[in-house]
Amino acid sequence: MTKQTRKHVLLKNEIEMIKKEEIKEVIEGLLDGFDKEHLESSIFKHLIEKSEYLKDPDTMQTMIVHPFIRCVELAISKTQNKSNSVADLWMNYNFLESNVSELCSKFYGGGCSVDRGRFIVKSFIKFKETGIMPKLNWKQEYTFHYPKKGTLKQWFNFVEGVNRLKYGYNDIYLKSLMELMKVHKGRKKK
């Protein structure tokens, strides 16, 4: 390696290090800003005032988490005119969607699994609101978000089971999971 080439390599490495450091600073700045916003919030200040409730998980759940969740559920019910059961689904949306998306990923591979999970959970919530079972329109331009196998009723049973699982009831979850696994048996990820 010539002296010129070594200088070029050293300069290139130095530039890469500077770029990595700049990127790191930007990311840390964004995260610090995000935390700063939360550290200044009235919710955080209230939690600090009630720090005696943060000493064990049971007390924290009883005195902080449950009342907060209930207040948000009531706000959803009042401002969005939703039933308590639908507000509960809204509160559990991330849990429901991540479980359904993960199952879709196991059945179909990672591509579009989050889209499928969101579609199934949002359709389930709408079904709970209206009582009307949606129909899949396979002739429309975009169907990537549809589950490839299983009926919506089977998928909705799974969502219901996942929701109940969060409260310790596993019967519907296990039955619906087994049913979907039968439907997808032998199906390879694409």
Contact 82, 129 (CB under 8 A): yes
Tokens of 150: 């299983």
- Report, as an integer, the average pLDDT of 142-154: 91
Query: What is the spatial distance between Cα 64 and Cα 9, in angstroms, rounded to a whole number?
Result: 56
pTM of the model: 0.75
Q: pLDDT tens, 34-70?
A: 777 887 889 888 888 988 999 999 999 999 999 999 9
Query: What is the spatial distance between Cα 15 and Cα 19, in angstroms, rounded to a whole number?
Result: 6
187: left (phi over 0), alpha (psi -120 to 50) or beta: beta
CB crowding 127-156: b at 16 or more within 10 Å, else e = bbeeeeeeeeeeeeeeeebbbeebebeebb
Q: How confident is the model at residue 25 (pLDDT cuts 50, 70, 90)?
A: low
- Give the pLDDT score at 139: 83
Task: Name the residue with tokens 């009630």.
Answer: 50
